[in-house]
Amino acid sequence: MGKKAEAPGQISARLLDEVEQLRTSLESALEENARLMEDRDRLSRRVTQLSQDLQAARSAPPPAPPALPSVEQGQAEEELRVAFEELQVLTEELEVANSSLQQANHELDGRVEERTRQIQEINDTLRATENSLRTIADLVPDLLWRSDATGHANWFNQRWCDYTGWDKEELKEEGWTNALHPLDRASSLAAWAQAMAAGTVYQEQHRIRDAQGDYRWFLIRAEPMRDANGTILAWFAAATDMHEQRTAMEALQRSELRFRTLIEGMPQLVWRAVDSGQWTWSSPQWSAFTGQSEKASRSLGWLEMLHPDDRDHAMAAWTRAQQTGSLEIEGRIFNAQDRRYRHFRTRGVPVRSSESSLLEWLGTSTDVDDIVQLQAHQEVLVGELQHRTRNLMAVVQSVTARTLKGSHSLDHFAQCIGDRFDALARVQGLLSRRKGGLRVTFDALLREELSAHVPLDADGRGEHVTLTGPAGISLKSATVQTLALALHELATNAVKYGALSQPAGRLEVRWDIRRPAPGECRLFVDWRERGVSELPAPGAEPKGGGYGRELIERALPYQLNAQTSYAVETDGVHCTIDVRVPSEDSEGGGR
């Protein structure tokens, strides 16, 4: 309570003191008066005595002639006269004293009356004030209470009773602390004790149980009331219901925690911005990815982490976003760890208030580098596929035309074209079955082709066939198809007219790697047929129509830069192919 509230009490005390003083002085005045009365009565009694004595003396027979008064009579009269005069003086004094006494008494009565009236007024005012205060105390929604200087609660407003369902007797002293939540009680009481010891303001949040047994959060504030000397007279406390705010705030905090956990857990780089791309915040992922601090990313700092070629584009996107209300940027962002830029797709949406005014922008930047790389790779692959497919169609067209030229009947054509398409199909199969950029190897190609004509064991041996050479010699993909077609023509001719067409025939294929110069790696193949009879005469039209020879002698040198030889020797065909292959230390893949 403030000083104004104390004033009536102090005035009241002061007035009571004054009335007491007045009463004391009145009493002493009355005593004085009584004493004066006693003096007067005593004198009066003596005058009466003297008067009687004088009367008695006069009525006795005159002992002497009346003309001559006796000495005795003269003395008595004199004494009486003196006493009478004394009496008169006393009576006058008494009358004066009495009159002033009456006056004082009257004044005193007036003052007492005045003071009494003042006290009455003040009491009325105090009563009215107290009533007002009590009304107000019961009117406010807060729980109010008061305790003495030692902390013993001695007054509670009605709300306390209404809220807790307890009466004021139950609340008194320490009773109210039983309504505190068990989890809050110890800390709350400790803080309360500390505040009282220090004489400082107490402010705590804790839960108080209501009449139904539910707890609600309150903000409790208590302040000491001091007298003029600073001594604490009492404590006044108020508990304000803040349950909704507190629970809403806790919900908000949980929501924010979830939001932060989500944002910091997602792989995207998250940011907030205002106006035209002025960042106000970036998530930890931004700093982790770019190496740029959160603070440095603010405003247009983030632009520095963008590829220089993408910056104008990004700012243009921000300008557009002001009209369209959505932001989309494709741009490269620098990655500190790999020391290179990666493709990102950045999207932003405006955050609007309930009045739909734009508050800020919230956005994410998603790493799409792998996708972009894959897309680029896929485009190349699709292009390659088109290229190969259409080239293959052109090759098929050409092979068909040549086969048609070399065929003497439709049956012959059907047989030859079927074999050649099978050979093309086998090599396409080899190429498409490759895994992860592995190259087709020469031994696999040779075995695949020969196996289509004669049975071979795991070591590449057949009844008439010996294969000798290292495994795993990689071929350039561009080499494979033409080489396969050439091998097919050699094998087909051997089966039809050469070493594989006769019991005495033998086919030996040897191959090896040669390194004529540093970094140059060449495959040397020696195809030798032996034990073959009925060979065509030198210079005669080849039995296969010449297509096979054309492939070996012209196509391989033209297309693969190969050096080849083809000869029909006395006991069979002898063919050599010398073609460049990728060196073993060069990377796989390629075309």
Partner 1 sequence: MTEAALQDCRILIAEDEYLIAADIAEALEQDNAVILGPVPRVADALSLIGSGTRIDLAVLDVNLCGDMAFPVADALVEQRIPFAFATGYDGWTIPARFADVPRLVKPFRPDRLRSALKSLLP
Q: Which residues contribute to the site for partner 1 (CB under 8 A)? A: 383, 386-391, 393-399, 401-402, 478, 482, 551, 554-555, 558-559, 590-591
Residue 482 CA to residue 488 CA, distance in Å, equals 10
- Continuous segment of H or E residues that includes residue 513: strand 506-514
164 versus 492: smaller Cβ distance to partner 1: 492
379 versus 584: smaller Cβ distance to partner 1: 379
165 versus 557: smaller Cβ distance to partner 1: 557
Phi and psi (nearest 5°) for 56?
Answer: -60, -40
Closest separation in Å from C-beta 409 to partner 1:
23
- Nearest one of 482, 489, 497, 487 to 561, comparing CA atoms: 482
Closest separation in Å from C-beta 420 to partner 1:
11
Q: Are 212 and 184 in contact (CB under 8 A)?
A: no
- Nearest one of 267, 296, 261 to 282, comparing CA atoms: 296
282 versus 477: smaller Cβ distance to partner 1: 477
Residue 73 CA to residue 61 CA, distance in Å, equals 13
DSSP 297-333: HTBTGGGGGB-GGGHHHHHHHHHHHHHHS-EEEEEEE
Residue 53 CA to residue 49 CA, distance in Å, equals 6
81 versus 387: smaller Cβ distance to partner 1: 387
Q: How many residues does the chain have?
A: 591
Q: To the nearest 10°, the Cα dihedral for 488, 490, 493, 494?
A: -110
118 versus 583: smaller Cβ distance to partner 1: 583
DSSP 519: T
215-226 and 563-569 beta bridge pairing = unpaired
136 versus 394: smaller Cβ distance to partner 1: 394
Contacts 24+ apart (CB under 8 A), 400-406: 402/547, 403/547, 405/545, 406/544, 406/545, 406/546, 406/547
Closest separation in Å from C-beta 383 to partner 1:
5
81 versus 554: smaller Cβ distance to partner 1: 554
Question: What is the residue whose two structure tokens read 């008064």?
Answer: 69
Task: Please write down the HEC assignment for all residues of 366-429.
Answer: EECHHHHHHHHHHHHHHHHHHHHHHHHHHHHHHHHHHHHHHCCCHHHHHHHHHHHHHHHHHHHH
- Nearest one of 500, 478, 383, 494 to 431, comparing CA atoms: 478
Closest separation in Å from C-beta 548 to partner 1:
13
Closest separation in Å from C-beta 561 to partner 1:
8
Closest separation in Å from C-beta 461 to partner 1:
33
Q: Are 488 and 420 in contact (CB under 8 A)?
A: yes
Closest separation in Å from C-beta 564 to partner 1:
12
Classify residue 172 by burial, with Cβ atoms within 10 Å: 0-12, 13-18, 19+.
middle
Closest separation in Å from C-beta 563 to partner 1:
15
201 versus 394: smaller Cβ distance to partner 1: 394
137 versus 475: smaller Cβ distance to partner 1: 475
Closest separation in Å from C-beta 262 to partner 1:
41
Closest separation in Å from C-beta 396 to partner 1:
8
Helix and strand element counts for the chain (H, E): 15, 15
Number of alpha carbons in the 13 Å side-chain half-sphere of residue 502:
18
Closest separation in Å from C-beta 482 to partner 1:
7
What residues are paired with 145 via a beta bridge? 156, 237
Closest separation in Å from C-beta 523 to partner 1:
17
Closest separation in Å from C-beta 458 to partner 1:
34
